Structure 1
Amino acid sequence: MKKNLIYIAGGMATVVALIALALPSILHGAGLHPIYIGPVHEAPGKRALIITTSHGVLAPLGETDGPATGVWASEMTHPYYVFLEAGMSVDVASIKGGEIPIDPQSFYRPIISAEDEHFLEDPTFQAKVKNSIPIEQVDIGQYDTIFLAGGWGAAYDMAQSDVLAEKVSAAWYADKSPIIGAVCHGLLGLVRATDQQGNLLVADRRMTGVTDKQLRELGIEVTPMHPETELRKAGALFEASTGFRDIFQTHVVVDDEERFVTGQNQNSGLEAAHRIVGLLANKGSSL
């Protein structure tokens, strides 16, 4: 009997180990961080700016005790390496500047992406994240694209930042006519930007962002702002892909003027960045 129990325990341990080893592939197959299979372009000499949150605690508004959060790693690492591999230079800024908080869950083994692992071995990128540029010091007119990364932290400071709203508004009229990208909660950084007549830039534009359904499914409703809700309030023509669990869905939208490229969630940053590079490459070839 004792020997049988040992065999059973050993068998169960083997099954658990095999499931643990297979889990990343299972999640990937379900839709988490899908491989990009579209056209790949180059944009040598172009400049990109990635902007992230500076908020690092997941808690009710005004409270400081809660799980660590920040930018979701892949929403920063995926565009960074896409831009870099396209021959672009990439700067990293955040709402307050200095060290950017990264959600530790985004580095968990079943979830971590190849780009995240690259970041963990990349001292140059790590230095940019540790010493990010405060957005108030950014010369927004020098960039060909501005990309707003998401993560739970973005719900606390991106829509709330007067400076970010001013920078996005200024980017719209900059001489380079930069393409403005955003993914997941990063879309909150767009909802207060206005044109010169005071109209919201996102109004009547096709856009996507993380869905209210995904937040409910994950049980994360403590955050003060939800992208789908705020985009709809601002008049955006919101669209998204939905399924049994929205965390495994993805959707990327390019607006009719090809000035905004938005991604639904943590799965969408890779494609969104490639679409931006494609637009930059086509813009360069048409000059």
Structure 2
Amino acid sequence: MMMKKILIIVTNVDQYASGNFKTGLWLSELTHIYHAAKEKGWQITIASPKGGNTPIDPESLKPLVLDEISKRHYENPDFINELTRTKSLNEVKNESFDCIYLAGGHGTMYDFPDNTTLQTMLREQYENNKIAAAICHGVGGLLNVKLSNGEYMIKGKNITGFDWFEETLARRKNEVQFNLEAALKERGIHYKKAFIPMTSNVVVDGQLITGQNPFSSKEMAKVVVRELEK
């Protein structure tokens, strides 16, 4: 099996616009794909819009949601050091990757959707028939990607992402930039959500892979590895 190259993109944003709460990367949405790729001996690059530090959402470190794999990585100084010195999108935009993976966390709602470098990278990835994956709020990074023909990349596709009821359960619906579920539907997608909120749900449509919420992190990693090995 050839070694694969995976680019994981994380946020640089550490608080909501209101300043009421801290936010950032949702840790498990990075650790599971990172762990799975490491086990395969694949090459992993972690990048962010600006480069440098990616803050970790403190909510993702709470005992109820901090799973074993995430805990192990969080306690690993080398891994945490890697998160303080991510590459910028400009540094990696001309590289070729087998998979571009957008990790989530509410911070991504601020610095993913309108990033033109990210849009270009995702368009080229998709048009080269390579995998583009996104989980939870990271799916917002797919919203404004247009193909060479001017159509939205996700139009007509089966897609999932953090839904509005989950936003209510997370007590963040009055804080977020926008309603991700509604924004996705405006793009003419087929929105696929789990029957039970906050449970794992991963949707594959061709080379687009999306995960609904943090509880999809483990399954998402498995699915991405499976699709890359096809």
Coarse TM-score class (shorter-chain normalised): over 0.9
Residue 38 of structure 2: aligned partner: 84
Residue 285 of structure 1: aligned partner: none
User: Under a length normalisation based on structure 1, what TM-score does the superposition of the two structures give?
Assistant: 0.76
Provide structure 2 residue ranges, at least 5 long, that are not aligned to the other structure.
none
Deviations 1:154-180 (A, max 9, x none): 111111212211211121234xx3211
CA distance in structure 2 between the aligned counterparts of 1:44 and 1:120, rounded to whole angstroms: 29
Residue 208 of structure 2: aligned partner: 260
The answer as to 2:1 corresponding to 1:47 is no
Q: Which residue of 87, 102, 111 corresponds with 1:148?
A: 102
CA positional deviation for 1:140: 5.2
CA positional deviation for 1:198: 0.9
Q: Which residue of 191, 194, 199 corresponds with 1:238?
A: 191
How many residues align? The count is 229
CA shift in 2, pair 1:140/1:204, >3 Å: farther
CA positional deviation for 1:219: 2.1
CA distance in structure 1 between the aligned counterparts of 2:78 and 2:130, rounded to whole angstroms: 25
Secondary structure of residue in 1 paired with 2:229: helix
CA positional deviation for 1:44: 4.8
Q: Which residue of 154, 176, 182 corresponds with 2:134?
A: 182
Provide structure 1 residue ranges, at least 5 long, that are not aligned to the other structure.
1-42, 283-287
Residue 270 of structure 1: aligned partner: 218
After superposition, the CA RMSD in angstroms is 1.5
Residue 16 of structure 1: aligned partner: none
Contact 1:44–1:87, Cα closer than 8 Å, also in 2: no
CA distance in structure 2 between the aligned counterparts of 1:87 and 1:231, rounded to whole angstroms: 34
The answer as to 2:7 corresponding to 1:57 is no
CA distance in structure 1 between the aligned counterparts of 2:9 and 2:17, rounded to whole angstroms: 22
More deviation, 51-60/197-206? 51-60
Deviations 1:77-135 (A, max 9, x none): 11111111122111101111101011012112222111211212333322321100111
User: Under a length normalisation based on structure 2, what TM-score does the superposition of the two structures give?
Assistant: 0.94
CA distance in structure 1 between the aligned counterparts of 2:92 and 2:6, rounded to whole angstroms: 12
Residue 204 of structure 1: aligned partner: 156
Residue 158 of structure 1: aligned partner: 112
Q: Which has the larger radius of gyration?
A: 1
Give identity over the alignment, percent: 29
What amino acid is aligned across from residue 51 of structure 1 in structure 2?
I
CA distance in structure 2 between the aligned counterparts of 1:229 and 1:204, rounded to whole angstroms: 15
CA distance in structure 1 between the aligned counterparts of 2:204 and 2:41, rounded to whole angstroms: 22
Residue 227 of structure 2: aligned partner: 279
Contact 2:93–2:117, Cα closer than 8 Å, also in 1: no
What amino acid is aligned across from residue 113 of structure 2 in structure 1?
A
Residue 88 of structure 2: aligned partner: 134
CA shift in 2, pair 1:102/1:178, >3 Å: same
Q: Which residue of 58, 71, 76 corresponds with 1:104?
A: 58
CA positional deviation for 1:141: 4.3
